[in-house]
Structure 1
Amino acid sequence: MNITKEKVHVMPLEELPVLIGKEVQINNESIALFRLSNGEVRAIGSRCPHTNGPLAEGIVSGEFVYCPLQDWKVSLITGVVQPPDEGAVPTYDVSIKNGEIYVSV
């Protein structure tokens, strides 16, 4: 079964600072957006699977974000928490068109 995802306009790219997360609500889902130093934009579930910490408030390092509550390291590419910790958050496809950010949900 192939489920078509909806591309939802989120914001202009210029409103998302580099290495600073931003939490947005899309279709009742809380999503954390990150603009990496290489210009890529990544979207993951906004809550740490361990403490429910707000990942958008975490420190970004490379392709990872650190939970501000327990310092768990979460991949912005796969959503997987790095060992020795366990867990994962959802990831979302992001596209940029004409300077606007779209997230597929």
Structure 2
Amino acid sequence: MTVSIVKVHIGTISDFPLQLGKTVAAGPLELAVFQTSNKQFKAIENRCPHKGGVLAEGMVSGDHVFCPMHDWKINISSGNVQEPDHGCVKTYEALVEGDDVFILLPS
């Protein structure tokens, strides 16, 4: 079975400040999108698996975001929560073409 991919435009590079999260609607999903200090784009679901904190509002440090509700540390590349806490969030591939930023979603 082949899964087709939909490319959803979410903005331009300048819409995403370095090391800060931004809430973005991509199709039916609400995502937290981050431009890392090395200018890579990362996208994860925008709710902490613990109590549903809005991850786009969390503090970013390196490749992690800290949930603003209870400080859970979540890797924005893998979606994994750092131990001793447990859980994960879905991750989504981001793509930059010129100045445009896209999220790739399975259709």
TM-score (norm 1): 0.97
Let me know the Cα RMSD of the aligned residues.
0.6
- Listed as ranges, the gaps of 5+ residues in structure 1 are none
Q: How far is the alpha carbon of 1:5 from its aligned partner?
A: 1.5
Larger strand percent: 2
User: In 1, are the aligned partners of 2:8 and 2:27 still within 8 Å (CA)?
Assistant: no
Structure 2 residue 18 is matched with structure 1 residue 18: yes
2:64 touches 2:74 (CA, 8 Å); kept in 1? yes
Unaligned 5+ runs, structure 2: none
For 1:17-54, what per-residue CA distance to the aligned partner results, in whole angstroms no more than 9, with x for missing partners?
00110001111111000000011010000000001000
Summarize the alignment of residues 12-91 of structure 1 with structure 2, pairs less than 5 Å apart.
12-91=12-91
CA distance in 2, matches of 1:90, 1:10: 18
Identity of aligned residues (%): 39
The structure 1 segments of at least 4 consecutive aligned residues displaced by more than 4 Å after TM superposition are none
Using structure 2 for the length normalisation, give the TM-score. Answer: 0.96
Aligned residue in 2 for 1:94? 94
CA–CA separation in structure 1 for the residues paired with 2:92 and 2:84: 24
In the comparison of the two structures, how many residue pairs are matched?
105
